[in-house]
């Protein structure tokens, strides 16, 4: 989790009034929390997480009150995409020292540990709902992290700086202009 809630609102949209976490507690286990008043490592259940959810709900840390995954914000994601139902947790991701311009600020679709029966149609639906704007989208399954948006041809052109063919020129130019602040070595490898 990251406290960049204004950026999350501008890139993902405001928190939707009709979405509720319900029984989902995926973010309480999956994500890193690193704020002055509360920290937890990625992939470990929060010490306050019990069988009935957060044990300190009424006095939970500010980051837990203000952070919401993409499912709570993106209307185009269907109800079934809630992380505990889909096995996929989608959130905005921030990398302090990005290896390339697509890593600094991006949307990350994480396959949850143990969710080995991921519904491929749901994964495709989720990706479709996210890959329509100038925000990079990555998919990670715990061992690999793959860039899904923009597609490989566009990404390679953006990173290499080589001239784009006519049918891709506008798209490549738009990505370059938006992300030149993050421009670094041309590396789009996996994590
Ligand atoms: S992952 Fe999303 S839906 Fe699940 S508890 Fe966190 S904010 Fe709520
Ligand atoms: S304090 Fe509560 S809401 Fe925050 S991560 Fe822990 S269990 Fe989840």
Summarize pLDDT for 2-14 with one digit per residue, the tens. 555 588 898 899 9
Ligand 1 pocket test, candidate residues 22, 48, 72, most atoms within 8 A of CB: 72
pLDDT of residue 189: 34
Considering the chain, what percentage of its residues have pLDDT values greater than 90? 65
- pLDDT (mean) for 29-49: 92
Mention every residue, 6+ apart, whose C-beta is less than 8 A from residue 127.
109, 137, 139, 148, 149
Ligand 1 contacts CB of residue 70 (under 6 A): no
d(CA 167, CA 179): 20
Q: Categorize the per-residue pLDDT at 115 as very low, low, confident or very high, splitting at 50, 70 and 90.
A: low
Ligand 1 contacts CB of residue 69 (under 6 A): yes
Of 156, 159, 154, give the one whose Cα is nearest residue 180.
159
Residue 77 has pLDDT above 50, yes or no: yes
pLDDT of residue 119: 65
- pLDDT (mean) for 118-146: 87
- Neighbour order of strands in the sheet with 145-149: 88-94, 105-111, 137-140, 145-149
pLDDT of residue 116: 57
Tell the residue nearest (CA) to atom 4 of ligand 1: 24
Ligand 2 pocket test, candidate residues 48, 52, 66, most atoms within 8 A of CB: 48
| Three-point CA angle 81, 60, 12, nearest 5° | 35
74-80 contacts at long range (C-beta below 8 A, 24 or more positions apart): 74/12, 74/13, 74/129, 74/130, 75/13, 75/16, 76/129, 76/130, 77/125, 77/126, 77/129, 77/130, 78/125, 80/122
Between the CA of 139 and the centroid of ligand 1 the distance, in Å, is 18
Between the CA of 60 and the centroid of ligand 1 the distance, in Å, is 14
Ligand 1 contacts CB of residue 82 (under 6 A): yes
């Amino acid at each position: 989790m990251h406290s960049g809630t204004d950026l999350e609102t501008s890139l993902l949209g405001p928190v939707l009034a009709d979405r509720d976490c319900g029984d989902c507690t995926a973010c309480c286990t999956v994500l890193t929390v690193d704020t002055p008043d509360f920290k937890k490592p990625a992939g470990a259940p929060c010490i306050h997480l019990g069988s009935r959810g957060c044990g300190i709900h009424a006095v939970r840390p500010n980051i837990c009150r203000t952070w919401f995954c993409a499912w709570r914000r993106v209307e185009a994601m269907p109800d079934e995409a809630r992380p505990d139902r889909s096995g996929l947790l989608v959130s905005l991701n921030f990398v302090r020292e990005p290896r390339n311009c697509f890593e600094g600020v991006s949307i990350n679709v994480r396959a949850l540990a143990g969710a080995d029966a991921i519904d491929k149609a749901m994964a495709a639906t989720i990706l479709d709902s996210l890959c329509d704007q100038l925000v990079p989208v990555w998919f990670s399954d715990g061992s690999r992290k793959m860039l899904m948006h923009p597609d490989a041809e566009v990404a390679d052109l953006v990173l290499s700086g080589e001239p784009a063919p006519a049918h891709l020129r506008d798209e490549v130019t738009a990505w370059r202009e938006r992300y030149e602040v993050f421009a670094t070595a041309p590396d789009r490898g996996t994590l």
